[in-house]
Amino acid sequence: MKKLAAFVLSFLLILIGNSIAQDMSPEAGKLYNEGNSMLKAGNYNGAIENYDKALEIEKNYRIYYQKGVALKKTRDLENAKLSFEECIKVKGDFFNAYNALGGVYFQMGNYSESIKNFEKVLTLTDKAKVQKKVKKNLSLAYSKLGNQELSNGNSEKGVEYLTKAVDYNDYDAAYLSLAKVYSELGDWDNSIAASENALKYRSKITKGGPYYYMGISYKGKGDTEKAKEMFNKAKGDVTYRKTAEYELSLLN
């Protein structure tokens, strides 16, 4: 079977900038601004060093946040997580930190914690652009969680999480996963509906998967002609060609 499209998360790691150093002590502000300049120049270790020096002077949430961004750039996810957590301890309503923490947890494979933090962002900001991005990330995280449950044999939980994924965003790969699991459960109508949505919102997946699962579902419903039509479309996809041709051989 076709591997589902790779999950690519779009993080909103916003660089806060130099102007907000005004509310810090002059010494911390100077180090913070120097760290920001290094971060923008790609000198992540130098930026971290300056942020650490600034934090020795003042435990400002902005410094923790920018340090977390720099640490993530170096792929030090564990320490990036700790820095974003410290940021939140200082300022519990700073939505950028929750969003960044959700992204770190996603990259660490902890999708449940990722979801908690992304959902927190939605409660803290009504900015349309941010909400749209975060909902896409929630869809990706729920998709990952749903497919994990399916791999563990828990179809009920898998369907629950995948349904939440498409509630947040019309994610083609999540619809394809739903089409597959519904076909395996013999829920033909829901499998067809999910397949149609996978095609409607198709971005990364190929067309073969949705057509294949529609073929399986129409076959299950006893509509041989419609099943043949779908399998003939599916066999145009190299990934599904053999299985689609096999299904057609059973119907001829």
**CATH class assigned to 171-252:** mainly alpha
Each residue's pLDDT tens digit, 3-50: 333 344 444 454 455 455 667 899 999 999 999 999 999 999 999 999
pLDDT at 20: 58
Among residues 173, 180, 188, the alpha carbon closest in space to that of 142 is found at 173
Each residue's pLDDT tens digit, 119-137: 999 999 999 999 999 999 9
Each residue's pLDDT tens digit, 130-166: 999 999 999 999 999 999 999 999 999 999 999 999 9
